[in-house]
Every structure is written in structure tokens, then in C-alpha cells.
Amino acid sequence: MNIRAVTDSVRAAPLGIRARGLLPNLYDIVAFVVIAGVFVALAHAAREMGAPLSGLDLTPVTLDPANLPEYALRTTLRMFAAILASLLFTFVVATLAAKSRKAELVIVPALDILQSVPVLGFLTFTVVFFMGLFPGSQLGVECAAIFAIFTSQAWNMAFSFYQSLRTIPGDLDEVTRQFRFSPWLRFWRLELPFAAPGLIWNTMMSMSGGWFFVVASEAITVGDTSVKLPGIGSWLALAIERQDLRAVGLAVATMAVVILAYDQLLFRPIVAWADKFRFEQTAAQQRPRSWVYDLVRRARLVRRIFAPVVLVAGRLAMIRLSATTWRAPSVPGKLGKIGEIVWLAIVLAGAAYALWFTVAYLRAALGISDVAEAVELGFLTFLRVAVLIAVASVIWVPIGVWIGLRPWAAERVQPLAQFLAAFPANVLFPMAVVAIVAWKLDPNIWLSPLMVLGTQWYILFNVIAGASAFPTDLREASTLYRLRTWQWWRKVVIPGIFPYYVTGALTASGGSWNASIVAEVASWGDTRLKAAGLGAYIAQATEAGDYHRVVLGIAVMSVFVIACNRLLWRPLYRVAERRFRLD
């Protein structure tokens, strides 16, 4: 909505009070019903989340279908709370990493490590902390569950925003410098709008990816006490435990309804609204559409009621510090270099201390042979991850480009892609176990695809985002020059989507390492299969309570992830920044 238009409207009729504007139309009635329904559902779920902790023992999770809508609402609220926290984390941390070389030295390796740490590893340390913050209240366990979901969402969004900030076109960057934009104004007027298409698609992917970890986040064990929060994740855990296929099917169907609902009510309108931030000089003939977005635009009374809110938000985004009130501190060249050297020394010292502490902890119970075993298993998992990412790229990159270049296709495929990305892969584990046993297949090979079932969608969503944000004028130029298929891919498409693909492949590989902990060990009833790898090593050590081997396994996994990122993905990021920026 145009800020000037809103300003004129408010000046003409303060707070939107005008006889004609107060008369609601049909669109106002529909919009009011939708908004009121959403607020009532959120208020009900929020009230239940603050109940006393003892209430969990009085109302245990059951497989009664009548409880499923309530469970779906509770799970959805947790996931949206986590996604809001992830957005705040992304705006702060990714911006620091993109703008400060000193911060980048710490933040990027930390993100590499954190995306490879299992969600269960976070729960082990955070549940007691949050329960101590809210003693006797269910809110503490709720916060622990939300934080666990946050750890499955934030890293992907942070990498996406970081990549977008590093590939801002040079001419746009120069314009903001010529007009002497403050960091605040530059963020709202250039950086966030430019990064919006990719960030929105990665937010949808993170929302869907969080469903994979819902089971682990809602069924929490603290010492001898087990707590199952009411939700779809707890329902699924109980259904799998009881081998109730009917209950599993009901949970999956409910997930499909929930995903379709928040896709149509939230994400699809945001995609249609953010299309205006595409970097292009020629308007596209086809635009993303959303019936909710059109409904809000046609509702007279709703627009007038929210006009002051839009005006205030626009004014906040337009705050511009003058050159006399904001000025970057000038540091002499030699002092700046000395400061960078000191900061690098501090970072290396911190890393050395962490390494020394880890080695000292492991030496107390393990030897060189144990380390060698973990490294050997790490290489096996690395081979699986590399092959699976390559296969997923070959499959999903062409499909993602085809969808992203056609808004009508993206509109139809978006809910399906979100559902497939959200589909809990552990539901398929029993089928895989039955098939492997029945056909006498090798678990080391046929359990491997389970690792990429929930992570391959990072590639698809990022490629769709890159193709959707591809400038229309460049597409028309390639059509005029009649580029052949291979030339079109090599000269046009691959350069256009390359930064987005790198982000998707990086997060998919990190997620595959994480997923190996549950994918390399699969069971159904009394049948249990295991594939040799680092994921199975960590899973077995966790089940046995061998914390030394758990720490060793996570440390080796972190080393592998950081090595892959530094030797492969970071150089590809630099290539994307230098060669494939839309300057």
C-alpha cells in the first residue's frame, strides 16, 4: 500500500472515519470473520499453554479423533511462535554476519555447527533451563518445545538472508550511499525488500521443515519425568508406538488441512504482496495471485481501520538519520588492521579453548581407536550425504526452475510442496523397514534415502525463489536472442538461480547430517535395522546413555560439516557474489 495515499486518506478523514468508509461491504464481512476466527483460536491456544504443569498428568495425550483439532491448533501456535523468533534472529544475526567481517568470523562457523547439532541435543540442555524460568507452569515446557522447533527453522532463514545481503546489486548499493541512507533506512528500503522473495520461500520451507521435528519437540523427557505436550507430534509419537496406522493417517490428513489453511491465509498473500520487490526493469505479464490479498485490498472498512497502523509502520521504516547524527566511526588503516588481528586472535583462542575442553572430556573415557572409529563412520555418512545432495539437485533444480518461472504453477504447487516438505519422514520408516526385510535389501544402501526425504525440499524451495525473483527483462532478452536449451541454462538460468541454489544445497546438506541420526536407524515393532554411519553411532550412544560417545559423535559431525562448508559451499558463495550478482 502506498504511504502517500494512506497519508492523504488519513488527513482527509482522521482515523479513517468517513460516512462512506464506515459502510462495510461483503469483503469487509468475510475479512472480519476470518480475522476474528484467527484471533479467537490464538487466544484459546495461548490460554491453554499457560496452564499449570500438573494439568499434563490429568489430561494425557490420547488418540481420540475429537482432540485432533485442539492438538493441531496447539502445534500450529508453537510453530508460528518459533518462526517469529527465527525471523528476529535472522534479521539481527544474518545482518551482522553480512556487514561485519569480525562478526562473520564467528557467526558463519557457528551457524555451520548449529545446523548439524541434533534437535535432541538442544532439548537436553534447554528443558531444565526453561522449566526453571517458569516453575510449576506448562509455559516452561512450551518454551522448550518452541525453542526446539526454532533450532530446525532459524539456520535456513539466516543463511538465505545472509546470501541475499551479500549479493545486492552494486548500482542499488551505490544509490543508497549517494543518498546517504542510515543503516536503519537502508535496511528497510533496500536490503529487506531485495531479500524478501528468497526469505519468504525459505520461511515457508522452515515452517514445513519444523514439522519433521515436532515429534521430538512435543514428547519431552527430563530425567525420570516424561512430558507429552498436546499436539500432532505427540499424537504421531503415540500412534507409531502403538502401531496404529489409522491414527497416523488421521494425523497426516490433519497436517494437510493445517498446511493448506496457513498457506492460503498467510503465505500466499505474502508471496503476492512481495512480488513488487522483484529486481527488474520490465514488468512481468504474470503475477502471483491470492484471494485473501485481493479480499483485503477490496475491503473498505478494514483498510480504513488499519490505515493508522500502516501509516505508523511506514513512518518507522522511513526514519532517516541525518549525516550529523549518524556517521560511521573512522578508524585509521593501521589501527583497523590491528583490531582485526586482535579479534581474530580472540576467536582462535576461544576455538582452541573449546577444542582443549572437548579433548580433555573425551580423553577421560575414550582412546584413539574410538576417535578413529567415529571418523571412519563419518566418512560413510559423508558419502551418503554427497550422493543424495547430487541426486536431489539433478531432480529438483529443473523442476524448481520450471515452477518458479510460471506464477500460475507456483500458486498451485506451493501448498503441495509445503505438505511434502512437512510430511514427517519418520512415518515412512516402518514401510522402509518392512520393504527392506521382505526383499532382503542392504540397509547400508536402502536406508540412505531416508536422510534426504525431509531436506531435499530446501533445494526445491530455494530454486523456486531464485526463479521467481529472476528479472523479467533478462528473460525477455534471452527469448529475443533465441538461446538454445543448453545456452539458456548455462548463460541465463544457472547464473540467475546460483546464489539461491547454494543456500538450498548448503542447508540441505546440513539437514541431511542432522537427519542421519534418525534415518540410519529405523524400526517397526520388534524389527530394527541399522546402517553403518555416524548418525547410527550417535543414536546408539544416546540410547545407551554414553555421553562421551555422544559428544565425540557430534564433534566429529561438526568437523565434517564445517570442512564441507569451508571447502565447497563458502567458495561457491564467493563465486555467486562476484560473478552472479544482478549488477
| Three cell numbers written together for 513 | 547430517
- Euclidean distance between the first and final Cα of the chain, in Å? 28
d(CA 229, CA 75): 9
SS3 breakdown of the chain: % helix, strand, coil, rounded to 5? Answer: 80, 5, 20
pLDDT-derived band of residue 8, with 50, 70 and 90 as boundaries? very low
Q: For 462-478, what is each residue's pLDDT tens digit?
A: 888 888 877 766 777 77
Cβ neighbours for 535, distance < 8 A, ≥ 6 positions apart: 381, 451, 513, 515, 516, 517, 518, 519, 520, 521
Strand partners, 52: 137
Cβ neighbours for 112, distance < 8 A, ≥ 6 positions apart: 510, 558, 561, 562, 565
Q: What's the average model confidence in pLDDT over 529-546?
A: 82
Tell which wins on pLDDT, 46 or 514.
514
Q: What's the average model confidence in pLDDT over 301-315?
A: 62
Q: Which fold has domain 69-277+365-579?
A: MetI-like fold (1.10.3720)
Q: For 158-176, what is each residue's pLDDT tens digit?
A: 988 988 888 887 778 788 8
Tell which wins on pLDDT, 227 or 248.
248
Strand partners, 530: 521
pLDDT confidence of residue 85: 92
Helices (H), 322-442: 333-363, 368-404, 407-422, 429-439
pLDDT-derived band of residue 57, with 50, 70 and 90 as boundaries? very low
pLDDT confidence of residue 397: 92
Longest dimension (CA), the chain: 82
Name the percent of the chain lying above pLDDT 70: 71
pLDDT-derived band of residue 380, with 50, 70 and 90 as boundaries? very high
569 has pLDDT over 70: yes
Q: What's the average model confidence in pLDDT over 282-293?
A: 64
d(CA 84, CA 150): 9
Q: For 404-422, what is each residue's pLDDT tens digit?
A: 888 778 777 877 777 777 6
pLDDT confidence of residue 166: 84
Name the percent of the chain lying above pLDDT 90: 6
Burial class (CB in 10 A: 0-12, 13-18, 19+), 205: buried
How many CA atoms lie less than 13 Å away from 326 in the CB half-sphere?
Answer: 11
pLDDT confidence of residue 90: 93
d(CA 179, CA 156): 33
Burial class (CB in 10 A: 0-12, 13-18, 19+), 203: buried
Cβ neighbours for 214, distance < 8 A, ≥ 6 positions apart: 75, 79, 149, 231, 232, 233, 236, 424
Q: What's the average model confidence in pLDDT over 5-33?
A: 50
pLDDT-derived band of residue 17, with 50, 70 and 90 as boundaries? very low
428 has pLDDT over 90: no
555 has pLDDT over 80: yes
Distance between alpha carbon 154 and the CA centroid of its chain, in Å? 5
SS (H, E, C) 482-531: CCCHHHHHHHHHHHHHHHHHHHHHHHHHHHHHHHHHHHCEEEECCEEEEC
Count CB-CB contacts under 10 A for residue 223: 7
pLDDT confidence of residue 66: 87
Q: For 73-82, what is each residue's pLDDT tens digit?
A: 888 888 888 9
pLDDT confidence of residue 394: 92
d(CA 332, CA 322): 24
pLDDT-derived band of residue 395, with 50, 70 and 90 as boundaries? very high
Residue type, 310: V
CB 462 within 8 A of CB 160: yes
pLDDT confidence of residue 379: 93
325 has pLDDT over 50: no
Mean pLDDT of the chain: 75
pLDDT confidence of residue 12: 43
Strand partners, 137: 52
Domain extent listing, the chain: 1-25+290-320, 69-277+365-579, 331-364
CB 458 within 8 A of CB 507: yes
